[in-house]
Amino acid sequence: MSRSASSAGVRTAAVACAVAALLIASLAVVGGAPGATEAANPAVESFSDRSPGGSEAVAQTDDGDVIRLRSELAQTDERGTVGVTTRAEIPDRVTELEVTLLSVADGGAVEADGFEPADDDGSEGSVWEWDGETADPSLTYATEANDTVEGEGPLAVDGTYRFVDAGEWALVRTPRVGAAWSYTGEYEGQVRLDRETVVAGEGVASRSMAFLGPHEEHVREAAGQRYRLIVPDAAEPVATPDEVFGVFADASTALQVGARGAEVVAIAAPTGEVSWAVRGLQTGDADLWVRDEEPAGTAADVWTHEYVHTRQAYRTESSGRWITEASATHYAALFALQRGAADFDEFEATLARGEREPDASSVLADPNTWEGNADYTKGALVAGEIDRRLRAETDGAASLATVLRELNEADGPITNEDILDAVEAAAAEGADDATATEVRADAERLTTTETTAETWDRDAHAAAFGETPAQVGYALADDGVRATGEYRNRTVARDPVELVGGESLALSVVASNTGGAAGSYDLTLSVDGEPVANRSGSLDGGEETVERFEHRFDEPGEHEVRIGSERLTVAVSEPARPSVRGVSVDSSRVDAGESVVATATVGNDATVPAGGEIEFRVGGETIATVPVRLDAGEEATIEQEITVSGAGEVTVSAVGLTDEASTTVAVEGDGPIPVDGAPGFGPAVALLSVVLASGALARRGRRGA
């Protein structure tokens, strides 16, 4: 499972630099079992899926502040490869751009337009530098389509492929592209990267995989997520779209473990001429494929299995690896039983595989001892026993989902010791310390020795699983991310959250219990790994509450903010400088000793708030200084009352940091032209106001939701 990784920006007086990279290699998957999951490439800054019929998740910033890398996939005449053309749209502010190709086919050449090689060859991992002049630079190359478990082999070899070019269609990984860049402009906000992958002709691309060829797409929104099911014309699916969407929605509701993405993309993989290495595979955050011959809703349901993987946001060390496939297998069987799609005998038979040798003698915390697919078999039985024991000992206040939620919030890769800690903490939610310690000890025995659990009977199952346990989950409210302070108090974009020094990030988090028993919640807000605030409480079944957090950021830089399983990148910069767009007076001719009101129009063209001072000058002499605070894209007016005497033409100016505007007033009378401008800026003298429907002062052009 991957999370977005962002690069730190280094700001100087004239230049701001940002560097980001994709350098994650895919991890191996265990094949031959119900399903598999693998680590994928973290996104760089933001990602757009703009496949036909899909939604567009574009970076929340102005076009002038976005580098766009668009990779277009196309089938080639050479079997086993897919053609890629990666084009860059580069804002004027960007001075340097490097693109690293991480998916070039072995021995493949790279055709460059507007890029020069930064190393000796064009092989995989090669770095290409933009020439600084070409407006639409591109890199064209081929990437390997076939991904096999045991080397390469023809399509006729059984149990080989995880991704493949089958000729008339292809199911492949999306190409991996890294980027690093530099840009100018201290006050205009950070330049960010937006990647998109598309398919030339018929096909669809998600973040981590793509299907090339004719297909139908089915879409359903349910349980707080959007599901997209891609059914190739070459597929003959056993499960209907309604059945697939049904198991996804049921699992989404039951799994209150955090890490729920906005969209899940699933592909029904044709099996007519391809022998797949696994029955299904999940990669990236929420992309998966399942063989078209797999039904939905059975005790060995692969669709549910792979969906559960999309909800596992943690990374594992070797000793903690077992929990990933174990929990997915257990939940697939449990959810089928709860839906009535499987009976208890089928549920029991699925978990009973963990009692049989050689799997039963494997030590889960030591993958070197695994025989067969111990994490799927013995692991599922042990995960189920931990689930049953927690429910029974806490009267439904905790379950295996409580453990997974804790693991999803881990900062680093989890170990088996982390799993045991989470089990003990979950048991303590509804049991005394002695019982919690005992539950942990039993879990330790089942995961660190050859001992395995035994399947339980119907009565024991009814006693533990009869009532839905507490299912406490967290989610940011719809308007749950706000910027507050002297510049604004409003909802802002999340990807990333852009603030200026002195502003606060305000978060509203909904804690809800969709289960049947009371349960507790414990929310901690952390910034760069350091806890800064905590809220905890208890919720009855079906109850929810909103907890609010606020944290002020004073220094420029990039920060990781975590709340529950939610992760936000907060980019803090110096405020932009307000610009002076014009100045006017309410009368161009006055008698000596009378007053005029000078009105300056100020604005902010940057994507971040602006702050500074505007001076009113008469005849070159400063008579008042007014502080200005503007939201991104806003315009406002400032008024200053000026009393003049003498005779002649007086120049009235409004002056900012880098710009100014002037007008003149003709003063009728005798003598010199002394100026009596009220010093300071009281409410009756200098005003920075928000226009109402009938008001005369303006504050216009607010951006954002």
CA gap 443, 423 in Å, rounded: 8
Best CA proximity match to 178, nearest among 200, 193, 189: 193
Q: Is residue 603 scored above 70 in pLDDT?
A: yes
Structural domain includes residue 416: yes
Radius of gyration, alpha carbons of the chain = 31
Across 476-486, average pLDDT? 93
457 and 338 part of one domain: yes
Mean pLDDT (the chain) is 83
Q: Is residue 14 scored above 70 in pLDDT?
A: no
Structural domain includes residue 534: yes
Lowest-confidence region among 261-275, 450-464, 480-494, 665-679: 665-679
Instruction: Quote the pLDDT of residue 513.
Output: 87
CA gap 588, 78 in Å, rounded: 77
Q: Which residue has the higher pLDDT, 704 or 549?
A: 549
Structural domain includes residue 204: no
Tell me the pLDDT band of 125, cut-offs 50, 70 and 90.
low
Best CA proximity match to 49, nearest among 232, 283, 265: 265
CATH code of residue 532: 2.60.40.10
Looking at 526, 558, 573, the residue that finishes a domain is 573
Best CA proximity match to 145, nearest among 75, 243, 70: 75
Listed in sequence order, the residues at least 6 apart from 508 whose beta carbon sits closer than 8 Å to its beta carbon are: 476, 477, 479, 480, 482, 546, 547, 548
Domain count, the chain: 3
Q: In this structure, are strands 610-618 and 579-585 parallel, antiparallel, or unpaired?
A: unpaired
Tell me the pLDDT band of 188, cut-offs 50, 70 and 90.
low
HEC profile for 245-271? HHHHHHHHHHCCCCCCCCEEEEEEECC
Looking at 447, 469, 491, the residue that finishes a domain is 469
Q: Is residue 548 a contact partner of residue 508, using CB atoms and an 8 Å limit?
A: yes
521 and 609 part of one domain: no
Residue positions counted in the chain: 705
318 and 457 part of one domain: yes
Residue 432's domain spans which residues? 314-469
CA gap 368, 376 in Å, rounded: 15
CATH code of residue 457: 1.10.390
Per-residue tokens: 513: 């219990």
674 and 627 part of one domain: yes
Q: Is residue 142 a contact partner of residue 119, using CB atoms and an 8 Å limit?
A: no
Looking at residue 647, its amino acid is A
Structural domain includes residue 283: no
510 and 566 part of one domain: yes
Structural domain includes residue 211: no
Lowest-confidence region among 1-10, 373-382, 488-497, 519-528: 1-10
The Cβ of residue 484 has, within 10 Å, a number of other Cβ atoms equal to 16
CA angle 207–212–213, rounded 5-degree value: 145
Q: Please, which residues bridge with residue 221 across strands? A: 226
322 and 434 part of one domain: yes
Structural domain includes residue 391: yes
pLDDT tens track for 164-184: 999 999 999 999 999 999 988
What is the phi/psi pair of residue 421, to 5°?
-60, -45
Looking at 573, 597, 616, the residue that finishes a domain is 573
337 and 349 part of one domain: yes
Instruction: Quote the pLDDT of residue 678.
Output: 40
Instruction: Give the H/E segment covering residue 170.
Output: strand 170-173
Burial (0-12, 13-18, 19+ Cβ within 10 Å), 280: buried
584 and 676 part of one domain: yes
Q: Is residue 150 scored above 70 in pLDDT?
A: no
What is the phi/psi pair of residue 380, to 5°?
-65, -40
What is the phi/psi pair of residue 522, to 5°?
-145, 105
Listed in sequence order, the residues at least 6 apart from 433 whose beta carbon sits closer than 8 Å to its beta carbon are: none
Structural domain includes residue 98: no
Q: Is residue 171 a contact partner of residue 290, using CB atoms and an 8 Å limit?
A: no
Instruction: Quote the pLDDT of residue 192.
Output: 87
Lowest-confidence region among 156-170, 447-461, 506-520, 633-647: 156-170
Q: Give whole-number Cα distances, 168 to 206, 290, 351, in Å.
A: 20, 19, 40
CA gap 385, 444 in Å, rounded: 12
Instruction: Quote the pLDDT of residue 184.
Output: 87
Q: Is residue 399 a contact partner of residue 470, using CB atoms and an 8 Å limit?
A: yes
Structural domain includes residue 493: yes
CA gap 43, 26 in Å, rounded: 14
Q: Is residue 52 scored above 80 in pLDDT?
A: no
Q: Is residue 115 a contact partner of residue 132, using CB atoms and an 8 Å limit?
A: no
Q: Which residue has the higher pLDDT, 474 or 418?
A: 418
Q: Which residue has the higher pLDDT, 168 or 58?
A: 168
549 and 617 part of one domain: no
542 and 608 part of one domain: no
Instruction: Quote the pLDDT of residue 63.
Output: 52
Q: Is residue 374 a contact partner of residue 383, using CB atoms and an 8 Å limit?
A: no
Across 459-465, average pLDDT? 92
583 and 551 part of one domain: no
Per-residue tokens: 303: 């669709």
Across 262-289, average pLDDT? 93
Place of tokens 């689930």: 387
Per-residue tokens: 123: 């092989």
Looking at residue 162, its amino acid is R
Instruction: Quote the pLDDT of residue 36.
Output: 55
342 and 392 part of one domain: yes
Distance of CA 412 to the CA centre of its chain: 17
Best CA proximity match to 258, nearest among 676, 594, 571, 567: 567
Best CA proximity match to 32, nearest among 372, 382, 297, 381: 372
CA gap 34, 461 in Å, rounded: 24
